[in-house]
Amino acid sequence: VIGGETLYREALPRADLLYLTEIDRDFGGDARFPDFDRARWRESARDDRTALDEPDAFTYHFVVYERTDR
């Protein structure tokens, strides 16, 4: 699902996999991926990166979560 926070919130109960990009930097803004109960999800893959071409380098992570409560 590609969309805003409302679409993510509505689709989350149906999802079995989450493909997220987690960024270790605050960009401001008012829309975020909704909070989810991480106890119901298991991290199954992670690829850590660093954005060196930015004025202030920061790290980000491509993370896959699998639902565990089904």
pLDDT at residue 1 is higher than 60: no
Closest by CA to 64, choosing from 41, 45, 38, 47, is: 45
What is the DSSP secondary structure assignment for residue 38, as one 8-state letter? G
What are the pLDDT digits (tens) for 4-50?
Answer: 888 899 999 999 999 999 999 988 887 788 999 999 999 999 999 99
Q: What is the pLDDT of residue 5?
A: 85
Distances (CA, A) of 57 to 2, 45, 54, 60, 63: 26, 23, 5, 10, 20
- The fourth-level CATH superfamily of domain 5-67 is Dihydrofolate Reductase, subunit A (3.40.430.10)
Distance CA 52, CA 67 (A): 33
